Amino acid sequence: ARADHVALSELLDVAVLAAEKGAAVVRESLDRPRSISFKGTTDLVTETDKASEEAVLAVLRRHFPRHALLGEEGGVSGDTNSTYLWCVDPLDGTTNFAHSYPAFAVSVGVVRGGTPVAGCVVEFTGGPHAWATRTFAAHKGRPTTCNGKPVRVSEVSEVRRSLMVTGFGYEHDEAWSANMELFREYTDVCQGVRRLGAAAVDLCHLSMGLVDAYWEYRLKPWDMAAGVIIAQEAGATVTTMDGRPFSVFERSMLATNSRLHQQMLEGTGPKTRDLLERGVDLSPWLVPP
Ligand code: 2AM
Ligand code: CA
Ligand code: CA
Ligand code: CA
C-alpha cells in the first residue's frame, strides 16, 4: 500500500460526517429567504452553496490535511499530489433549492485515479411543511445503504418498461441539442424521461430503483463522484455514453441498472460518437492529480 493509503471504511466515515455537516447548513437555511446571485442568466448560486462548501471542506481538511480537495464553489485546494481527490458539490440542485422544489442534495465523494471509491449524498425530500433527508453511503465492496438500510437497482430489463432521467447543463451548446434529441427519442419508447436538475439525486434514485437509467453530457467531477459509487455498489453499470470506461473527468455518463446498459448504449453511443467526430469538445475536464 502507498504511504498515504487510507482504509475505505475510514474514507466513508469522513464522507458521511462531512456531508451531514453540509446538510445541517442547508437544513437551517430552509426556513429563511434565499439570497441568490447569478453566475449567468440561469446559473445561480446562493449563500447556502458557499456556507455548505465551507462546512464540508472544514471536516475534510481536519481529517485529511494532505488530500486534494475540489469544490464546485472554491475550486482546488490541499495537496494536489495526493492519491485522493475529494469532489464536493455543497448543494446539488441549487435551482430546486432556490424554489423549495424537493430535489437537491449535498454530495461528497472521494476519487482515486479518476474513479470514485467512497461517497455520501444527503438528499432533501418532501418539500415545504414536510422536509426530510435521506443519507446514501457507499464504498467499494460495500453494499450501498440509504439511512442505514441496503438499497438495490431495479430489475427492469426492457426499455419500454423503464423510467429514465437525464439532465441538461446551463450551456446550450451542441451536446445540449444532441441530448434534446435523445430526450425526445426515449420519451417515445419508454415510460417517461424525467429531468430533475440534480445529478447526485438522479444517481441516488437509480441506486434505489426509482429510475432504471440515467445519462448526461458535461457533468463535472463533483456532480458524479459520490453518486457513481453509490449507484455502482447498488448494482449499477456506469460508462461514458459511448461505452468507454467511466472516470469523473469524462464529459458524458451513462448509468443504468446494468440490465439495460447494452440497449441504452445502442441509443446514446451513436449520438455521442457523432458529437466526437464533429469535434464537439467532450474531452476530459482536467488532468487528474
Ligand atoms: P448545481 O445545482 O450544483 O449547479 C448537471 O445537470 C448539474 O447542472 C446539476 O447537478 C445541477 O448542479 C446543475 N443544474 C441544475 N439546474 C440546472 C438547470 N436549470 N440548467 C442547467 N443545469 C442545471
Ligand atoms: Ca452550481
Ligand atoms: Ca451539481
Ligand atoms: Ca452545486
Q: Where are the domains of the chain?
A: 8-150, 159-277
- The whole-number pLDDT of residue 65 equals 96
Rounded to whole angstroms, how far apart are CA atoms 125 and 108?
18
Given pLDDT bands bounded at 50, 70 and 90, which one contains residue 1? Answer: very low
Supply the pLDDT for residue 283: 84
178-187 pLDDT, tens digit per residue, is 999 999 999 9
Residue 109 CB less than 6 A away from ligand 1:
no
Is 33 or 96 the better-scoring residue by pLDDT? Answer: 96
Confirm or reject: Cβ of 197 under 6 Å from ligand 1.
yes
If one residue of 87, 94, 107 were mutated to test the ligand 1 pocket, choosing by the most ligand atoms within 8 A of its CB, it would be 94
pLDDT category, 2, cuts 50, 70, 90?
Answer: low
Architecture of domain 159-277: 3-Layer(aba) Sandwich (3.40)
Residue pair 208/146 in contact (Cβ under 8 Å)? The answer is yes
Report phi then psi at 15, rounded to 5: -60, -45
Fold of 8-150: Fructose-1,6-Bisphosphatase; Chain A, domain 1 (3.30.540)
In the chain, % of residues over pLDDT 70: 98
CA pair distance 73, 217, nearest whole angstrom: 20
Residue 89: its H or E element: strand 84-92
Considering only residues 274 and 32, tell me which one the structure prediction assigns the higher pLDDT: 274
Confidence of residue 289 (pLDDT cuts 50, 70, 90): low
Tell whether ligand 1 has an atom less than 6 A from the beta carbon of residue 41. no
Looking at this protein, which amino acid is placed at residue 243? G
The alpha carbon of 39 and the centre of ligand 2 are apart by a number of angstroms equal to 8
User: Which cell numbers in the block locate residue 241?
Assistant: 455514453
Task: Provide mean pLDDT across the span 206-213.
Answer: 98
Q: What is the DSSP letter of 155?
A: -
Q: Ligand 1 in contact with 42 (CB < 6 A)?
A: yes
The pLDDT of 273-278, averaged and rounded, is 95
Q: Which residues are CB-neighbours of 54 under 8 A, at least 6 positions away?
A: none
Alpha-carbon gap, residue 68 to 90, rounded angstroms: 16
How many CB atoms are located within 10 Å of the residue 101 CB?
16
Q: Give me the mean pLDDT over the 101-110 stretch.
A: 98
Per-residue burial over 8-41, b if 16 or more Cβ lie within 10 Å, else e, is beebbbbbbbbbbbbbebbbebeeeeeeeeeeee
CA distance 91 to 101: 13
Cβ(223) – ligand 1 distance below 6 Å: yes
Helix 174-189 to helix 261-277 angle (10° resolution) is: 150
Residues with CB under 5 A from ligand 4 (ion): 72, 89, 91-92
Please, what is the average pLDDT of the chain? 95
Candidates 250, 258, 256, 244; CA nearest to 225 is 250
167: nearest Cα among 207, 223, 119: 223
- Complex-level ipTM beyond the 0.90 threshold: yes
Q: Is 188 annotated among the ligand-binding residues?
A: no
Q: Which three cell numbers stand for residue 57?
A: 471542506
Give 268's pLDDT tier (boundaries 50, 70, 90): very high
The pLDDT value recorded for residue 92 is 98
> For residue range 145-159, what is the model confidence (pLDDT) as tens digits?
999 999 999 999 999
Q: Which pLDDT belongs to residue 207?
A: 99
How does residue 39 score in pLDDT terms, banded at 50, 70 and 90?
Answer: confident
Q: Where are the alpha helices (DSSP H) in 150-196?
A: 174-189
pLDDT of residue 54: 98
Closest-lying ligand 1 atom to the alpha carbon of residue 218: 5
Is the distance from the beta carbon of residue 125 to the nearest atom of ligand 1 less than 6 Å?
no
Q: What is the mean pLDDT of the segment spanning 79-83?
A: 92
Task: Let me know how long the chain is.
Answer: 289
Is 274 annotated as contributing to ligand binding?
no
Q: What CA–CA distance (Å, rounded) separates 167 from 138?
A: 23
